[in-house]
Amino acid sequence: MTHHDCDVLVVGSGAGGATTAAILAEAGHDVLILEEGPWVEQGEVRPFSLAQMDKQYRAGGVTVALGLPSIAYTEGRCAGGGTEVNSGLYWRPPEETIERWRSRYSIQDFRTDDLLSICEEVEEELSVQKVPGEHTPSSQIMRRGADRLGWKNDEIPRWMAYPEGAGATEGTRQSMTKTYLPRAFAAGARILCEHRLDAIVRTGRRAVGAEASHDGESVTISFRDIVVCGGAIQTPAILQRAGFRHRIGRTLAVHPTVKLSARFENEVNTPDDVSVYQVKEFSPNISFGGSASHPGLVALALTDNWRDFGRAVTSWPELAIYYAAITSEGRGIVQTIPGVRDPLVTYRLTKRDRDLLGQGLARLAMVMLEADAEEVYPSFKGAPVVRNRADISTMASSFAASKASVMTVHLCSTAPMGDDEKRCATDSHGLVHGSDNVYVNDAALLPEAPGVNPQASVMAVAIRNARRYCDERAG
Amino acid sequence: MSQPNEPGIASSAVTRFAHDLLAAELPALPPDRRADAVGFVVRRVESLPSIMRFGVSTIGLSVDAVGALVGRGRMRGMITRLPLPLLAEYPRLVRSLGFAYVWETWPDTLVDGGAAS
C-alpha cells in the first residue's frame, strides 16, 4: 500500500481541477491531484477518433443517460479532462445568466464584473482567439447558410495557438495539460494519473482521508481539505458514496442535441476539426453548430435510417455533420447504487424540450439547404431525405424526440452552488453543505446549463472559488 | 457465412448477435473485417458503465436464448423492426458501434460492406 500526504487533494484535472490546482499551488498550498485517466500528449491519438475515445473518454465514449429518449453523453477521462478532447470553443458566461444565477440561487459575492475579469485572464492564459487564416469548408457552410437566411451567426473563438495567418486546422490546443496543469506543477503540485478515488473517509463533518486504487494496488491519501472536480457525473457520485446527499445529483442539466448530415457537391469533410461558426438566431433556446465528421461518425449518423441513407456513406468526403442544441427545461438524476461501480444516470426531457428539438432540426435543415446542400439526412428513425423546403415540412411532421439519436457533451448542475440551501448542494463558494472541508469546484456547481459552451463558465467559477479559499486560509 | 472464432468471446451472446447483425446488414463485409468489427463491439460492451453493461448483457442473453428457440435471424429482425423501448436500443447500439468501426477503419468501404476495388 502506498500513502501520500498533502494540504489539499484535488480530485480530477479538467477545467475545474486544473485551474483549482494552479491557484492553490501558487498560493503555497501543497496540492496533490488525483486523476483517474492517463496522461496523453497531444498528437498521440487522432482527434475525435475511436482511438481517442478508447484512451481519453470514460467507457470509450459510450455513456448514456437513460430516458425516453435516452441521451448519449461523453465524459473526458484523462489528464486535462474534457479540455483535451472537446472542440475548444470558448464562450464567456452570458451576463444575464450570471445575474439570474446570483438572484435565483442566492450566490454571494458573485459579481458579473469579477467573473468577466477572470474570463479575461483565462482568455490570455489559453490564447483564446479566432482563426487567423482560412476556415474549414464545414465552417463556411454554416456561415453561408445562416447569412443567406439573414440569421445571426458568429465565429466562436477557441483555446488554440496558431502560427501567424494559419488556417483552422493548424492550431495547437491550449488545453489544461498545456496551460494550468504545467502552472500547477511549476508551483509544486503533484499529479497521480490512472488513480481512481474509491472512497472518502469521514469523521462526522470532516473528510480525513481518501482511498484510491492504481493497477490493483491500494493507495491512501491524507489531506487537510479535499476539492472534488470529477465533472457533473462523477462528482455527485463521489459525494454520494461519501454519504453526502443533500441536493447532490438531483438536478443534472444538459444541452440536448439532435444531428443531421448534409451532402454537398464538393468535398467538405474535415475529419479532425469542427465548424467554429455557430448560429445564435434562436439563442438561448436553440443554437446550431458543427460536429466531428470522421467517416466512422458519418456512418454512425446515418445508421438510424440505413436502408434509405446508407448509400450516402460512400460520399463521406462530401458530407459534414451538424447539430441543433437546446436549453432544456428537463432535469436528470445521478444516483449511486451500493455495490455498483458506476452511477445510474437518467434524464427526462419536457414536452417543450421535445418540441424545441424538432424545431431546431427543421431550422438547421434550412441552413443546410440555403448553404447549397444537395441532400440532408436527419438523425432520427423514419426521417426522409431532405432535398427542398417541402421535405423539411415532411421531416418536421414525422419527427419525434423518442425516435431521435439525442446526445450531449455539456453536463452540469449536479451540485449547484448558492446560499439557498433548499436549492443548492454547496454554499456560494463550493463548500458542501453538511461538511467542514469537502469542496466541489467544477461543472457540477453551475446552477443551470448556461446555454453556451460551459467550460469558460466552469473555469471562471473555479478560479473565483479557489481564490476565495486561498484568501480565507491566508486570513 | 463465416462464424466468429475468437477464443473467449465466441460463446458470448453479444458476439453472436453482433456477428449476425453485421452479416445481415453488411453482407459483403469480408469475414476478417467482420471479426475485427465484432471484436470492437464486444470490447466496447465490456467497458460500458456497470448498469448499462448489465442491461445490455441481460438483453443480449435473453435475445440469444429466445433466438435459439425461434431462430436467431427471426429474433434479430423482430427487435430491429419493432419500436420496443430499451430492447430496440440493443441492435441500435451494436449497429452504431459496428458501423462506426468499419468506416473509421476502412473509410472506402461500400454500402454493403464490400471493399472498394
Cβ-Cβ contacts under 8 Å for B49 (sequence gap 6 or more): A58, A59, A63, A341, A342, A343
**Segment A54-81 mean pLDDT:** 95
pTM for the structure as a whole: 0.94
Q: Are strands A71-73 and A63-65 parallel, antiparallel or unpaired?
A: antiparallel
With bands split at pLDDT 50, 70 and 90, how would you rate the model's confidence at A307? very high
More confident residue, A450 or B87: A450
Residue A269 confidence (pLDDT): 96
* Residue A322 shares a structural domain with residue A367: yes
Grid coordinates given for A26: 501558487
Among A62, A63, A68, the strongest candidate for a mutation testing the B interface, having the largest count of B CBs within 10 A, is A62
Last residue of a domain, one of A362, A382, A408: A408
The average confidence (pLDDT) of chain A is 96
Nearest residue on chain B to A62, alpha-carbon basis? B48
Boundaries of domain holding A380:
132-171+256-408
HSE (side-chain half, CA atoms, 13 Å) at A269: 21
Residue B5 confidence (pLDDT): 43
Dump pLDDT digits (tens) for A185-230: 999 999 999 999 999 999 999 999 999 999 999 999 999 999 999 9
Mean pLDDT is lowest, of A172-176, A453-457, B62-66, B104-108, for B62-66
Dump pLDDT digits (tens) for A247-291: 999 999 999 999 999 999 999 999 989 999 999 999 999 999 999
* Residue A137 shares a structural domain with residue A13: no
* Residue A283 shares a structural domain with residue A432: no
**Residue positions of A annotated with a catalytic role:** 410
Last residue of a domain, one of A385, A408, A431: A408
Per-residue pLDDT 10s for chain B (117 aa) are 444 444 344 347 899 999 999 999 999 999 999 999 999 999 999 999 988 888 888 888 888 888 888 888 888 888 777 777 677 888 999 999 999 999 999 999 999 999 987
CA distance A12 to B65: 42
CA distance A355 to A349: 10
Domain contains A66: no
The four Cα atoms B55, B56, B61, B67 give a dihedral, to 10 degrees, of: 120
Dump pLDDT digits (tens) for A226-248: 999 999 999 999 999 999 999 99
Contact A296 B83 (CB under 8 A): no
| Whether the predicted interface score ipTM is above 0.90 | yes
Which helix (H) or strand (E) segment is A262 a member of?
strand A257-263
Nearest to B96 among A49, A60, A300 (CB): A300
Cβ of A60 under 8 Å from any chain B Cβ? Answer: yes
Cβ of B111 under 8 Å from any chain A Cβ? Answer: yes
Domain contains A58: no
**Segment A406-412 mean pLDDT:** 95
pLDDT at A86 over 70: yes
Cβ of A400 under 8 Å from any chain B Cβ? Answer: no
Do A26 and A187 touch, CB atoms closer than 8 A? yes
Last residue of a domain, one of A358, A387, A408: A408
The four Cα atoms B44, B45, B47, B49 give a dihedral, to 10 degrees, of: 130
* Residue A260 shares a structural domain with residue A273: yes
Domain contains A404: yes
Cβ of B100 under 8 Å from any chain A Cβ? Answer: yes
Dump pLDDT digits (tens) for A147-162: 999 999 999 999 999 9
Contact B104 A59 (CB under 8 A): no
Dump pLDDT digits (tens) for A27-48: 999 999 999 999 999 999 999 9
Domain contains A57: no
Among A300, A308, A335, the strongest candidate for a mutation testing the B interface, having the largest count of B CBs within 10 A, is A300
What are the backbone dihedrals phi and psi of residue A214, each rounded to the nearest 5 degrees, phi first?
Answer: -145, 115
What percentage of residues in chain A have a pLDDT greater than 90?
98
Residue B11 confidence (pLDDT): 45
The four Cα atoms A183, A189, A195, A198 give a dihedral, to 10 degrees, of: -120
Do B37 and B101 touch, CB atoms closer than 8 A? yes
Nearest to A60 among B25, B47, B102 (CB): B47
Domain contains A59: no
* Residue A403 shares a structural domain with residue A422: no
**Segment A74-102 mean pLDDT:** 96
Domain contains A72: no
* Residue A302 shares a structural domain with residue A153: yes
Nearest residue on chain B to A72, alpha-carbon basis? B93
Q: Give Cα A199 to chain centroid, integer Å.
A: 25
Contact A59 B48 (CB under 8 A): yes
* Residue A284 shares a structural domain with residue A319: yes
pLDDT at A300 over 60: yes
Which chain B residues have a beta carbon less than 8 Å from that of A381? Answer: 83
Q: How many domains does chain A have?
A: 2
Domain contains A73: no
